[in-house]
Amino acid sequence: MLVVEAIKKVHRHFTLIFLPVMFDLLSFVVGWLMVGMDGKERISIRLILEMGLPSVSHVSNIPLFANNIDLLKSSGNLPSFSWLIVIGLIIIGAFLQGGYISFLFSIVNGKAFDISNFLHAGKKNWIQFIFLWLILFLGKISVTAFLVLMFKIIGVFAALVLFICLRILFIYLEFTIVVDGVSMAAAFKTCRGYLKKSLFPSFSLIFIMYFISSLMSYLIHMYWGPYSIIASIFVYGYLMSVIQTIFMMILCRTRDELNYQIKAA
């Protein structure tokens, strides 16, 4: 089974979990120092729109992590240099994103962790991931504002559904940019082909990913506090690393099948 195989691969390469967990812990501590333990326990769920490097900030509606632009909307008294720290950590995250996806690709293909390949992938792709982040950030603001203006409260729900659908349609976008070494524009077309050729396993895993991440999001908000957040960073980092590994396994198998068909034609 893919799940068992992915778990074995992750257990043999614990660096895959170590990297996102350490970066998330750093972002949490920096955010905590900047705004304090902002927020309180409540019932809330945030659906993820991000792939690649896992972060609890992706499933938290309370701005606390310094690697997320939402921190700048915190109700706490932010230092004047806060935006520099947040932008700096977003750039570091974009660099780590490229390296992390490259690492996933390596372990799925039975290769050991190579720091030079990790750094090369990060250096090669970080600018594209910053542009992708900007597109998503500005797109969410403009589309949500337009739909709310047109349809009021229904527009909020419509915007959420739209972005989830787009996330699913381009579920392999970030992976394609790194694995195929292509531009973002080319990856938009190629990744749809990968999804089309792997509909059942991909959609099954997407359902599992949203179920697990939604449950984690609910628990994080329900038991909001420093200890629960630290625990969630480790649990979420592990679970999402396994899920991302399965996504990469599906992508690699689909990619090999397509390449074989092209050569046989």
Please determine, for residue 254, whether its predicted confidence score (pLDDT) is greater than 80. yes
3-class secondary structure, 61: coil
Q: How many residues does the chain have?
A: 265
Measured on CA atoms in the order 178, 182, 187, 190, is the torsion positive or negative? negative
Q: What element of type H or E holds 64?
A: none
The predicted-structure confidence for 38-79, as pLDDT tens digits, reads as follows 778 889 999 998 888 999 999 999 889 999 998 988 766 788
User: What percentage of the chain exceeds 90 in pLDDT?
Assistant: 76
Distance CA 135, CA 124 (A): 19
- In tens, the pLDDT along 7-44 reads 999 999 988 999 999 999 999 999 999 888 877 888 99
What's the pTM value of the predicted model, to 2 decimals?
A: 0.93
**Residue range(s) defining the domain that contains residue 90:** 2-264
Q: Which of 16, 6, 2, 9 is nearest to 52 (CA)?
A: 16
Percent of the chain with pLDDT over 70: 98
User: Is a pLDDT exceeding 70 seen at residue 234?
Assistant: yes
Number of folded domains that form the chain = 1
pLDDT tens digits for 140-192? 999 999 999 988 889 989 999 999 999 999 999 999 999 999 999 999 999 99
Q: What does the block give as tokens for 80?
A: 């004047």
What is the C-alpha to C-alpha distance for residues 49 and 199, in angstroms, rounded to an integer? 19
Reported as a single tens digit per residue, the pLDDT across 106-139 is: 999 988 778 899 999 999 999 999 999 999 999 9
